[in-house]
Amino acid sequence: MSKILENLNWRYATKKYDATRKISESDLNTLKEAVRLSASSYGLQPYKVIIVDTPEVREKLKAVAWNQTQITDASHLFIFANDLNAGTESVAAYIKNISETRGIPLEALGGLEDMINGAITSRSEESKNIWTSKQTYIALGNLLAAAAELKIDATPMEGFDPAAFNEILGLDKLGLNAAVIATVGYRHEEDDTQHYKKVRKSQDELFITL
């Protein structure tokens, strides 16, 4: 079995974390870099990732996340917050980044900028927010895979009140919305879930080859 399949078979949505164990700074930076390198539509990365380490803040967030203990017991909490009503400013910043990174004059990228702007501005605000929210899940997938590679446990979570998260963290004032979250850390030896067999559809059920 390849290493990646071994890692994916090892990981599971951890229910109980060992609150005494913290992720090393080196491993945390690796997870952050894996998220940074995630694919996204046009390469825009229309989101921010908030890493919450402060116990007092995490207690507040736990209260609006069905009091799930992962929120406070895990080493770190990642919050993937999508841009709201993304527009020309974020596209301009991306084009500037391309220009500086690849050494291409800005004027040579005008056609690309116009194309991306046209695709985005033609959407309704609701459609844009759904689109940017979907982008966060791609980054979440990178986090889960990288964590498994490092033998760090991770739990993707949708069981929280986004509006309450936005208020507690001030995300709405930044034009952001908490789309999905993930806790990362180390499983507690008493977490019975780690012993469950992984349940997934078979390849025959899941894939359709045309």
Task: Report if residue 163 sits inside a domain.
Answer: yes
Token pair of 70, please?
């992962």
27 lies in some domain: yes
Q: How confident is the model at residue 174 (pLDDT cuts 50, 70, 90)?
A: very high
Question: Is residue 5, in this structure, part of any structural domain at all?
Answer: no
Give the span between the Cα atoms of 54 and 57, in whole angstroms. 6
Q: Is residue 55 part of a domain?
A: yes
Q: Classify strands 153-157 and 47-52 as parallel, antiparallel or unpaired.
A: unpaired
Query: Tens digit of pLDDT for each residue in 4-54?
Result: 999 999 999 999 999 999 999 999 999 999 999 999 999 999 999 999 999
Residue 77 structural domain: 23-84+126-188
Chain segment 73-85, per-residue pLDDT in tens: 999 999 999 999 9
User: Burial of 133 by CB count in 10 Å (0-12 exposed, 13-18 middle, 19+ buried)?
Assistant: buried
Is 200 contained in some domain?
no
Written as six digits, the tokens of 82 are: 């999508």
Q: Is residue 117, in this structure, part of any structural domain at all?
A: no
Given a contact cutoff of 8 angstroms between Cβ atoms, the answer to whether 78 and 147 are in contact is: no
Q: How far apart are CA 166 and CA 61, in angstroms?
A: 10
User: Is residue 61 a part of any domain in this protein?
Assistant: yes
In a domain, 13, yes or no: no
The total of structural domains in the chain comes to 1
Which CATH number do you get for residue 32? 3.40.109.10
CB-based contact 72:59 (threshold 8 Å): yes
